[in-house]
Structure 1
Amino acid sequence: MRTSFLTAVMATTASVALSGAASALDHHGHASWGYDGEGGPEHWGMLSADNASCGSGHEQSPIDLHAVSDVAGSVPALHWDAGEGSVTDNGHTIKVGLEDAGSLHLDDRDYDLVQFHFHAGSEHTVDGQQYPLEVHFVHASDDGHLAVVGVFFEEGAANPALDAIWAAIPHEGEHHEVDDVDPGAFLPDDRSAWRYAGSLTTPPCSEGVAWTVMQTPITASAAQIEAFTAHYSNNFRPVHALHARTLSAGDTH
């Protein structure tokens, strides 16, 4: 599973920007990007030719979600497994890298679950409402396709699944191993979900990503939300127009 493609996927999809780094260069000599100023989302497409889709794409993520009558033609089957994870503060988000964590099956294609990471506030909105936190589960197929499952958090009861992850947040650039990471613990009991074709939500904003966003949020306590926002409080991209895409809904398996 650890091909060069999956390594690139994990690095790219985990990336969300450092605020205030707009005018600097990263260690590769590329223009840095962030969430305000000259490196903010409205400028991503101009920072590098590789980021052209950020400015010109018509299937960009995130989007505003709403009630729909269209029934999804296909929905993913989630076959996630508990196991060990590697928690990293990569300077952009808190990411949990996974191995042998199961898969997602969609449209006769299998995708490996390779990592999940967090955004505060949520990247997707629902009828204009932004949740305080959203987690993205990133899957990659052997032939280069991506599928992401998003889950919202609303403030409420503490979520035990977050405790071990937050406790393991390392210093930037380091990682800590965590036993018994259960991705399924972040899924709501109600498996209804929105489906649409979208993109990565960070540069290079590549399109062709199969998005599934759960309609029912799960909870995290105020203290748990604050524990994340102490590290990253605005690592979200604003919503984009749906354009000619279809937003549909169905129940995941």
Structure 2
Amino acid sequence: MISRIVLTATTGVFLATSAMAADTQHWTYEGSEGPAHWGELSHDFATCEAGDEQSPVDIANAVKAEPAKIELHWNPEADWSEANNGHSIQNNSKNGGYITLAGKEYELLQFHFHAPSEHALDGERLPMEAHFVHRAEDGNLAVLAVMIKGGGENDLFQALMDAAPRKGGEEVEIGKADPSRLLPASQHFYRYQGSLTTPPCSETVVWTILKEPVAVSDAAIEEFQDIYAMNARPLQEPGRRYILED
């Protein structure tokens, strides 16, 4: 449970952005600065157009395998702040804990939200998707994606949406919260190698997408959509990549 929510008078540019995106060059989700043009906006964004392992993708035709499971070591007593970074609502922590994947440790840095879901499951996009972003010492990322649907209740998600700053550049102190409360009961998953879904679209991400969505209230989803009605990158071609499922 969130222990406290304190509004701060912070405005300005946040260094932590959606999925570790670069924010030196302005970009959007539509128009002349939208996804179709990201690669043209900056030399740093060239991979958005030229890359061949881009994300998100449609999770279809997955191959049954035994991909390494994620071992969660998240801190249930971590301290969190919540920021509107101009592209999403993002929660940041300096003591969020870590995960272990294939014997490698990745620190939990932040989690943020997209509407609709960025990944599709057999062509279907859900109302929202949460990304839990982890970074290893070598700079590579491991993102755990959780699909979000309506018709349920989730106290943590509701509290985060109630507290979410409405204006870009604003931040609130959330206090202690256990992010595992945003996970579904089943931990079955898909796995593939991909990229950031926001500029600079770096292809340094191992993706894990949980199969089971978490159910939250329709009203809480609408609260997010009132701030960001659409902040999802279009689906990218899977190319020669395999999508594995456990």
TM-score (norm 1): 0.86
- 1:219 matched to 2:225? The reply is no
Aligned to 1:201: 197
Alpha-carbon offset, residue 164 of structure 1: 2.0
Task: Answer whether contact 1:72 1:195 (CA < 8 A) is retained.
Answer: no
Aligned to 1:142: 137
Amino acid at match of 2:222: E
Runs of 4 or more off by more than 4 Å in structure 1? none
Structure 2: runs of 5 or more not aligned: 1-13
Deviations 1:143-162 (CA, angstroms, capped at 9, x unpaired): 21111000001111121111
Cα distance in 2 for partners of 1:91, 1:15 equals 12
**Farther off after superposition, 179-188 or 229-238:** 179-188
Alpha-carbon offset, residue 13 of structure 1: 2.0
Per the alignment, in what secondary structure is the counterpart of residue 13 of structure 1?
helix
Aligned to 1:105: 100
Aligned to 1:164: 159
Cα distance in 1 for partners of 2:192, 2:63 equals 14
Aligned to 2:19: 13
2:243 counterpart (233, 237, 247)? 247
Deviations 1:170-199 (CA, angstroms, capped at 9, x unpaired): 343121111231111111111100000000
Cα distance in 2 for partners of 1:215, 1:195 equals 10
CA RMSD of aligned residues (A): 1.8
Aligned to 1:74: 68
Alpha-carbon offset, residue 70 of structure 1: 2.7
Structure 1: runs of 5 or more not aligned: 1-6, 17-25
Aligned length: 231
TM-score (norm 2): 0.88
- 1:122 matched to 2:122? The reply is no
Question: Percent sequence identity over matched residues?
Answer: 40
Alpha-carbon offset, residue 163 of structure 1: 2.1
Alpha-carbon offset, residue 67 of structure 1: 5.1
Cα distance in 1 for partners of 2:20, 2:92 equals 9
2:88 counterpart (90, 93, 97)? 93
Higher relative contact order (CA 8 A, sep 6+): 2
Aligned to 1:153: 148
Task: Answer whether contact 2:18 2:87 (CA < 8 A) is retained.
Answer: no
Amino acid at match of 1:86: S
Cα distance in 2 for partners of 1:11, 1:224 equals 22
